[in-house]
Copies of this chain bind each other. A is one copy, B any other.
């Protein structure tokens, strides 16, 4: 059994409250006795029972992180950033993998509440799952997705601006016939990017018939691949593709190459999210993304502001997008 305060107290012939004070430096003056207590604590290998501490203090230093798929590099990178940001502030991360499963997400939500976490950072499975996190009297931060109800804190990239930037970049690179490949889903991420795409078209006076909006069957490689194949069979070949995400973009690259065009010079392609694959020399996809570090830092900061500074206001943060220039444009 682990050593407790009482064990140390017995050895040092003091009460265990004195030991507690010695270890937490709650004494005004340092003294020989205090030193002695600290030394025997170390000698006995004392390790404070965080469970007891948290129980009596009625707060934990744990942040729950709910993400859809830790094996996906996009999420694992964010996880790393959240972990780093938490550690920096003295907090730990309780990892929850919802597996794109809303039932699991709910289960984890309850579990985290039972564990009395300081707060939760959530990348929800879908927009419907947002309601799971309302009225929880634990601070919640939605990461990377906006929501209709304004009661939840959000930290997201400015997707409108991001898509605008991406489209503008292609136009400035000389692209005259553009296509946006994505999924038409009732979802802020999607609709913001589409809006951004459209306002860039307008801002640069690109005619409607020179800019299409194509549906992808999935968010994966295949979706981008088949959509692009279809696009390339149409007359009046396009020369710029904005893909909803990097996977779709990589699928598009494959299709473009198969059809005998050269990615970058014949057809420029830009994606979103800066997935790990995109950096591979063989792929080298130009993409736009928020800084994950920023995203994570802000999210953690919001939670801590609630529990430590007694913040009450709901926060909605829009982070500026960042273009990552590589070889597909």
CB distance from A121 to the nearest CB of B (A): 13
A and B contact pairs by CB, cutoff 8 A, 15 listed: A47-B113, A47-B114, A50-B115, A51-B51, A51-B60, A55-B55, A70-B79, A70-B83, A71-B73, A71-B80, A72-B76, A79-B95, A92-B115, A95-B95, A277-B277
With both beta carbons as reference points, the residue of chain B lying nearest to A65 in the complex is identified as B95
Chain B residues with CB under 8 A of A2 = 116
In whole angstroms, what is the CA distance A276 to B54 when docked?
39
Q: Would A282 and B283 count as touching, CB distance under 8 A?
A: yes
Give me the interface of A with B, judged by CB distance under 8 Å. 2, 47-52, 54-55, 60, 65, 69-73, 76-77, 79-80, 83-84, 92-97, 110-111, 113-116, 221, 254, 276-277, 280-283
Q: Would A94 and B94 count as touching, CB distance under 8 A?
A: yes
CB distance from A150 to the nearest CB of B (A): 23
Contact of A92 among B69, B71, B94 (CB under 8 A): B94
Contacts A51-B55, A114-B49, A116-B50 given; does A80 touch B69 at CB 8 Å? yes
Chain B residues with CB under 8 A of A70 = 70, 76, 79-80, 83
In whole angstroms, what is the CA distance A76 to B78 when docked?
12
Q: Would B115 and A51 count as touching, CB distance under 8 A?
A: yes
Chain B residues with CB under 8 A of A283 = 282
Chain B residues with CB under 8 A of A281 = 221, 254
Q: Would B92 and A111 count as touching, CB distance under 8 A?
A: yes
Q: Would B49 and A51 count as touching, CB distance under 8 A?
A: no
Chain B residues with CB under 8 A of A282 = 254, 282-283
